[in-house]
Structure 1
Amino acid sequence: MKYVILIHSNPEPWGHPTGDFLPEFQALPDDVRARLVRDFEEVFGELRANGELVGGEALGDPAASTLYRWRDGAPLAVDGPYSEAKEHLAGFFLIDVESRERAEQVVARFAGPGETVELRPLMSSGGPDQ
């Protein structure tokens, strides 16, 4: 079962890992920050070792994005960010795991202070997998 893990964040300035730029993460005691980093690296290593990690990338500053909308019968390019929301998509990971439960175990360890992490199943080209 394939899932995408979407990392939403609002660091100022924009950078990766996003936690390094978030006041909620920076305010944590050193030992807690170190534990969270170790937890992430551990689950990331598990995904690689198990062949469950399909791919993933950090995304650049949303201010550098361009939004394309359909207006008056043609695409219209508009400078980003794409919404007025404070949080923006910071990056994603594509995983292929045995079950929803495994995906939930993984994504729970990806979540960090000041971020929202979204787990979403992929659809096959013929429609929803579930």
Structure 2
Amino acid sequence: MKYVILIHSNPQPWGHPTGNFMPEALARPQEERERGGVAFDAMLEELSKSGELKGGEALGDPVSARLYRWDVSGTVATDGPYAESKEHLAGFFLLDVASQERAEELAVSFAGPGDTVELRPAYVWEQ
């Protein structure tokens, strides 16, 4: 079963890892932040070795985003980000796991201070 973990954040300035720019993360002691980073890297390595982590990417600053919308007169392109959003998509991870329970177990580990993590199943195409 494939799932996507979407990381929503709004670091100021924009950068990765987002925790280096989020007040909630920066309020934690440096040693605690370093331990968390080491543990996160170890988890990613374990998931890669097990085959559960299929990929992922950090995304650039949303101010460089372009939005494309269909219109009867043709596709309309506008600059991003979504003006009404306070959080933006910062990155994603693609998982291939045995169950929804396993995906939920892992999603908790991706949540960092100041971030929101969205777990979404990949769409299953009918054969």
Shorter-normalised TM-score: what interval? Answer: over 0.9
Aligned to 1:14: 14
Aligned residue number for residue 2 of structure 2: 2
Identical amino acids, percent of aligned pairs: 60
Equivalences for 1:35-50 in 2 at 5 Å? Answer: 35-50=35-50
Structure 1, unpaired ranges of 5+: none
- 4+ aligned runs moved over 2 Å, structure 1: 70-73
State the match for 1:87 in structure 2: 87
Match of 2:27 in 1: 27
Count of residues in Structure 1 that have an aligned counterpart in Structure 2: 127
- Cα deviation, 1:27-53, whole Å, max 9, x if unaligned, reads 101232123212311221111110111
Structure 2 length as normaliser, TM-score? 0.93
Supply the AA of the counterpart residue of 1:7. I
Partner of residue 97, structure 2: 97
- Root-mean-square deviation (CA, aligned residues, Å) is 1.4
Q: Output the amino acid matched with 1:19.
A: G
CA offset digits 1:24-81 (Å, max 9, x no partner):
1011012321232123112211111101111111111100000011234311110110
Q: Are 2:58 and 1:58 aligned?
A: yes
Q: After the TM superposition, which of the residue ranges 77-86 and 13-22 deviates more from structure 2?
A: 77-86
Q: Which residue of 2 aligns with 1:112?
A: 112
How far apart in 2 are the matches of 1:56 and 1:107? 13
Structure 2 alignment gaps of length 5 or more? none
- Alignment check: 8 A CA contact 1:5 1:119 kept: yes
